[in-house]
Structure 1
Amino acid sequence: MAGFVLKLSRQAAGLTQEKFAELLGVDPTTVQGWESGRRPLAAIGAGELLKLGARLSRAGAPASTGRHLGEAIEADLVLATGITAGDSWVDPDHHPLAAAVHRRTLTNLITWPFTGSTPPQLGEFIPKVPRRGPVTTRPLLHVDERTRFLDHLVHVTERAGYASEPLLRRQAVYLLGFDRRAHVVDWLRDEWHRVGRRTIPGDDVTGLLEARSASVALAATGEGEHIHDFVSRMSDRDEVANLNYWAYWIGELGDVRTDDSFMRDVDTRSWSGSVLLAHLSNRLDPTTPHLPLNLHTLHALVASRPELLDGRPRLRASLTESLDRLASGDSLTRTGRDQVAGLRYALRIFGR
């Protein structure tokens, strides 16, 4: 990941590999090695990485280049750990999936080789140098590397204790949602029946999130009934945990967390909700398998903080258009139509 992000940032600065090497005072083969992954960027050390990001930004790359490179190295560490271990166990004290709660930007980088979708946060890297020949649009993993990484996730979910290593297991479950192998889909279905069909105790946020991950993953395979079931079973405390999770996921809740316990915090004033409102408003596509969860979360956010709609005429107009499109289609359940009606009513109040 880091090598590919370095390539994007170099191109955004308008530098060829040769010019970049000259700027750094290194041989062009060193730059080629970094970008291809043959020379891991993590090996140059944190200080040198900071300098590298700063040099690129001064040359014309986005100011956020250093942050993107650092996050890509984190993604490389997750992938390398799984690929190296395969179906072997890694002590949780040394496993990156057990170190901190992941955000959307990091997860997008980890799953990039599997989805083929460029992480949205990298959209600011606009190339300014002509491309030569066929262009690779994403980092690539060999088939055996992909298999070893995914097999490692399966091993983690089977070995990690639900109570003893909740974060490690939960984040492995989430990443398994990007594994389309039939036996893994079967495993996710069993996982849903284990955690999604039972009443989750009020303090068991990990159980809630594992049920969420399984239902979201199964929805992507075409089994949409599970995500509807998950949404319908959420209690008031689950609603709060879901909102806190989303706020952290998109970066609105700033501090890095090392476990999931913060999601049960009933005082949500540590985040404003404005970024989450915009994020969810842009995710009401009738064709997305995750629409029930996105719509439900948006409805819960506006119900708890209706003042977020005040003073945002452009967002209200865009949201009104999205809701009108949903209301005119046939993708909504009765609950979904009630939620759309509630949101439209709130928009009318603040549109007066």
Structure 2
Amino acid sequence: MKLRHYYYLLICSLFIHSSALRAQEAYTAPKLSNPDSWSIILVPDTQSYVKFERNQGILETMTAWISENIDALNIKMVLCTGDLVEQNELLVPDKVNGNMPSRDQWRAVSHAFGRLDGKVPYILAAGNHDFGYKSVENRKSNYSQYFPVHKNLLNAKALRAAGKNIDGLPSVENATYELISPQERKFLFLNLEFAPRDTILQWANSEISKEIYKDHTVVLLTHSYLNAQNKHMEKENYPIADANYGKSIWEKLVAPSKNVQLVFSGHIGSPDNFRGHTAFRVDRNAAGKKVNQITFNAQAMGGGWHGNGGDGWLRIMEFLPDGKTVITTTFSPYFAISPTTQKMAYQRDDYNNFRFQLD
């Protein structure tokens, strides 16, 4: 009886070991489904990576992976959904919500994205934590100091217009960038500050309505837009006036437009609940074109708000050569770096892996 039990355990052990080997062998690095495709990489909120010194290496791994895969994935643009830092102007960290003062947080995120300077353009939204002291107590920000347009010469080359910050100075907190895809489709990327002011929405509308952009596909990037129920944010309790959240952005800018077809945002999250970090909806603008609205964040994955910062998750958006189809894959370079964890490198749920169509 004991011998039979021993053989049973041995067989189970061999089965588990062989299954693990098969899972490890099954890992393949991300690749384009069509060699003529091109891609955009979407990076979620980075604040929890930079607020703790121990987490900063994960963000470096993410941007290093992007740098290494520019050619393989034909990456033409990198977007980040904002909240680049946990606190914009903190001198003494409380060791709970981070152990790094704001200057070091800004330096860390600037250094991580610096890996892409001169290699690929990147556009970073400014979130509520990127303003004020801790979280948008006012609209002052260190954004322009650490991300001036000339930091990445490819950004400067693509820049078409810059709005004015709260001090009345041009800043890429609000800006437009032009990109022509390999299939010659014209894109105009519009970056908007957190809860943009009315004057900024008016400026944005005037820019995207210009005759030279009537045939462009406008891609809007802003920090707060959809909630986890796939609804436009109506109101948030931040101490700023003249603020437009998701519903107002939709009503005042996106819906009346004839060329906004994509909206990306972040901001939302729930501890170790990926679904609570995401949202997706499709509406139509004034021209009857589909507007795919996508919210993606991950910052409370990997241990909640004070965990590792988000398990290294990012999204690969492959634009197929038909000019319409986009394949979205959610992937973690952090898990992919080691054979021990490669089996965890892809997020398998439908809400994190899907296709959508542009008009």
With the length of structure 1 as denominator, give the TM-score of the two structures. 0.31
| Structure having the larger proportion of residues in helix | 1
| Structure having the larger proportion of residues in strand | 2
With the length of structure 2 as denominator, give the TM-score of the two structures. 0.31
Pick 1 or 2: higher relative contact order, CA cutoff 8 A, min separation 6: 2
